[in-house]
Structure 1
Amino acid sequence: MKHELGISVYPDLTPLEEIETYFELAGRYGVSRVFSSMFSVDGTKEEVLDYFRKLIVAAHKNNLKVSLDVNPSCFEKMGATPEDLSVFKSIDVDILRMDLSYGPKGDTTLVKNPYGITIEFNNSPAIVKGLMENGMDPKDFLVCHNFYPQRYTAMKWDKFIDKNKELKACSRDLRIGAFVSSNAENTHGVWDAVDGLPTVERLRKLPIDLQARMILATGDVDDILIGNAFATEEEFKSLQEVLRESERRPDDLDPTLKMLVDYGIISLDKPVKKLRVKLDPEVTEKEKEVLFHFFPHLEMGDGSEWIWRTRIARFKYSQPNEEIKPRKYEKDMFEVGDVVIVNDNYKHYAGEIQIVKIPIVNDGKRNRIGHLDEDEYQMMELVNDGDLVEFLEK
């Protein structure tokens, strides 16, 4: 599935004019969806509907779908029932995210609504199973995790992974969303949120693109939503880079790599995991070419404990017409997280990109080209044997 990027806005906390400017910025960087919480907004029924009618008009003007977080209390206030969503149709909402379930029968009725409103449910395998037992196609509804305003209260990483695997076990067609946090200054959100609004606690203060890359690296999450507002343009740029699908195809590959694909030794039919490297000032254009433009990098599965090793580039860059000049590095050891390339002092393997996992001796056969910082190394831990890897510049 193609990944979607979403944002969150709070019209009770921010003037609509500022939100419209944010919509315009987000739309330029591939954002396709807006989340907002309807039940957290105070006011009469008419006031709340007017808030969100204006919000939806502004979003649609920028080609953004709108998802409103609702619950049974909100339904009662709006005069809605699972059988009658006409009040939500009157404001032209695209998606209703149900914070609580109406049970299998009520949830099924919601999905089958005649207005074409997509229904999104909480991250509950029981809800999904109930819908499927009632004949609902997983392609016809969505699932989204919660966000958590209070520090130290968001989901455990392992629980997050297990929950998603349980959801996808119901059907691979099920679309799952999760929240990441902007690290911009003075962000806001529901319930006085000032510490971000992520789904997973481990990710709360990491760079936003690293949060997204780690979530996508699990292989089970389809959509990334920014929980707090307002993300910066730089954050949008980094997320656009993360969510960009590789344009490389087997026919464009190096002949040796294409042969490995044709014989089934490696598979390109899997997501690409992306690592962001902080380059050394001395790195050469040739080394950057190998790191950033050769596709794909991957560990074949027989590597050692000391290094992660992507060897396929050497079939191209160890040829006599290619040159990876040795470059002196002043330290005797390469440290954990160092990114190195085998140079022409070991011509047979020249062009291999390696990442140090346990310190190794600097024997002059490798040039250090960069480093994964401590946060980034968490992403490295999610790269398994056979995974396709693309490198991005930090």
Structure 2
Amino acid sequence: MTMRQLGLSIYPDHSNQDADKQYLLLGEKYGFTRIFMSMLEAKDVQATKKKFSEIIQFGNRHGFATTLDISPRIFDQLGISYTDLSFFKEIGAKAVRLDQGFNGITEADLSYNPEGLIIELNMSNDTGYLDNILSYRANEPFLYGCHNFYPQVGTGLTDAFFESCSKRFKSRGIHTAAFVSSQVGNQGPWNVNDGLPTRETDRYLPVDVQAKSMFMSGLIDDVIIGNAYASEEELSNLSRMNRYMLSFKVDFVSAISDVERKIVLNEKHYRRGDANALVARSTMSRVKYREVANPPHDNKETFKVGDILIGNDGFGIYKNELQVVLTEHKDSRKNKIGSIRSEELPLLKYLYPWAKFQFEA
């Protein structure tokens, strides 16, 4: 399994280099390792080379690998041949992303570049684009995929289209990336910036919730913040997020007991494989704590989707079993001990049978 990475975006044509460097140092502090950098507007080759080289090399010294976003037009503007990518190697880039596609055979040829640059393909299309490239015997370890981002509100990918596009790449073993949007960043490549997510449903969610969803889909290896500059709080939240296990933030009820708190926070949870529509059941706690009393509380209300329940003393063999509500219901044999935060409820779709999961207070 590919190790999952976090990335930042910077826009040298629109930013102050000192501010960019401070942002990268903050990213380094919180474990970010990728940089996405737009080079769609370059004009003067020497000025471009100097400006981009300085910030890319700075990133390299601080543990980052930089992907440059380029288009066929840039090759013409900078006088660069498709067969010679040494310009990008000289300025320190690790990869070039082709914002627009060529004809298949060109991408395949580029993947054998002697500079050893990774060629990133635009993933936001549900066509045979990738298969066409691979049919020309592309150098697959040097092909990555990366989705677009969408600055205009309402124009991000639908969840279904995102999944369909991503599966085309993931099923072929291609390394994948997508964008999430900071809620405070206001800088991107264009003069419209309503956030820079790949998926429309992510646009106004907390950035760590967006990233959790990307990673838990199993379709995305690297998550990159599309807009600059994210806040330190956002970077910190992303750094503490579990990239490999489904995790929910929970608000507890005041009457939660000691044994209930231990069950929620200290035990390993997985959803039973014989899944049902009512609740996701984590059952090992009822074995470990079968002799521990758990008096009823918060057990008379209608339980809502995302509520966390634990069986009380009236539930017989199911006492101290943990359940996550998937369908509203009432049952006085269960105590409500807390609720998953509302912004994280969309993550419930990743609570598959046998899925491992955890909770954060």
1:324 CA displacement? 5.0
For 1:116, the aligned partner's letter is G
CA distance in 2, matches of 1:280, 1:178: 36
What corresponds to 1:361 in structure 2? 330
Q: Give the superposition deviation at 1:103.
A: 1.7
Aligned equivalent of 2:176: 176
Comparing 277-286 with 145-154, which one deviates more in the overlay?
Answer: 277-286
Deviates more, 1:124-133 or 1:104-113: 124-133
Compute the displacement of 1:74 (Å): 0.6
TM-superposed CA distance for 1:145, in Å, is 0.5
Q: Give the TM-score normalised by the residue count of structure 1.
A: 0.85
For 1:79-228, list aligned pairs within 5 A: 79-123=79-123, 124=125, 126-169=128-171, 171=172, 173-184=173-184, 186-228=185-227
For structure 2, the 5+ residue unaligned runs are none
**How big is each residue's C-alpha offset from its partner over 1:280-317, in whole Å with a ceiling of 9 and x where there is no partner?**
343344323222232232132242x3322222322212
Are residues 366 and 34 of structure 1, via their aligned partners in 2, closer, same or farther at CA, if it must alter by over 3 Å? Answer: same
**1:329 aligned counterpart, secondary structure:** coil
Q: Deviations over 1:171-211 (max 9, x none)?
A: 1x211111000112x52111124321000001111111111
Stretch of structure 1 that moved more, 110-119 or 209-218:
209-218
Of 120-129 and 174-183, deviating more is 120-129
Query: Is this contact kept in 2: 1:95–1:119, CA < 8 A?
Result: yes
Task: Give the deviation of 1:95 after TM superposition.
Answer: 0.8
Aligned positions of 1:241-280 closer than 5 A: 241-245=240-244, 272-280=245-253
Aligned residues: 358
Displacement, 1:88?
Answer: 1.4
Unmatched runs of 5 consecutive residues or more in structure 1: 246-271
- Give 1:309's aligned residue: 281
Which stretch of the first structure deviates more once superposed, 108-117 or 327-336?
327-336
Q: Distance in 1 between matches of 2:257 and 2:139?
A: 52
The CA distance in 2 between the partners of 1:314 and 1:235, in whole Å, is: 37
User: Contact 1:175–1:222 (CA<8 Å) still a contact in 2?
Assistant: yes
SS of structure 1 residue aligned to 2:250? strand
Determine if the alignment matches structure 1 residue 339 to structure 2 residue 308: yes
- Contact 1:300/1:386 (8 A) holds in 2: yes
For 1:144, the aligned partner's letter is C
Q: Give the 3 Å change call, closer, same or farther, for CA 347–187 of structure 1 in structure 2.
A: farther
Give me the TM-score of the superposition, normalised by structure 2.
Answer: 0.92
Letter in structure 1 aligned against 2:29: R
Describe the SS at the equivalent of 1:174.
Answer: coil
The whole-number CA distance in structure 1 between the counterparts of 2:289 and 2:139 is 49
CA–CA separation in structure 2 for the residues paired with 1:347 and 1:104: 63
What residue identity is the alignment partner of 1:283? I
Check if 1:328 corresponds to 2:297: yes
Comparing 148-157 and 331-340, the one that deviates more: 331-340
In structure 2, how many angstroms separate the alpha carbons of the residues matched to 1:331 and 1:225?
44
Q: CA RMSD in A?
A: 2.0
Change (3 A) 1:196 1:337: same
Q: Any idea what the Cα deviations from partners look like across 1:258-299, whole Å, max 9, x if unmatched?
A: xxxxxxxxxxxxxx3222222234334432322223223213
**Is the CA contact (8 Å cut-off) linking 2:67 and 2:96 kept in structure 1?**
yes
Cα separation, 2, equivalents of 1:126 and 1:358 = 39
Amino acid at match of 2:165: K
Instruction: Return the letter of the residue paired with 1:379.
Output: L
Contact 1:300 1:310 in 2 (8 A): no
Q: 1:18 to 1:285 in 2, by over 3 A?
A: farther
Percent of matched pairs sharing the same residue:
29
- Structure 1 stretches of 4+ with a deviation exceeding 6 A read none
State the AA in 2 paired with 1:357. Answer: L
CA offsets per residue over residues 36-81 of structure 1, 9 Å max, x none? Answer: 111135x422222222111112211211111110011111112212
Does the Cα contact within 8 Å between 2:273 and 2:354 map onto a contact in 1? yes
How far apart in 1 are the matches of 2:225 and 2:257? Answer: 36
User: Which position in structure 2 is the counterpart of 1:268?
Assistant: none
* 3-state SS in 2 of match to 1:97: strand
**More displaced, 202-211 or 233-242?**
233-242
Deviation at 1:222, TM superposition (A): 1.1
Query: What does residue 238 of structure 2 align with?
Result: 239
User: Is the 1:334–1:361 contact (alpha carbons within 8 Å) kept by the matching residues of 2?
Assistant: yes
Q: Which moved more, 1:229-238 or 1:343-352?
A: 343-352
- Letter of the aligned partner of 2:233 in structure 1? E
Q: Distance in 1 between matches of 2:90 and 2:202?
A: 38
**SS of structure 2 residue aligned to 1:205:** coil
1:10-29 CA distances to partner (integer Å, 9 max, x unpaired)? 12222111111111111122
Q: Deviation at 1:362?
A: 4.4
Deviations for 1:104-147, whole angstroms, at most 9, x for unmatched residues? Answer: 22112211111111110111553321332222243221000000
Give the residue type in structure 1 aligned to 2:246.
K
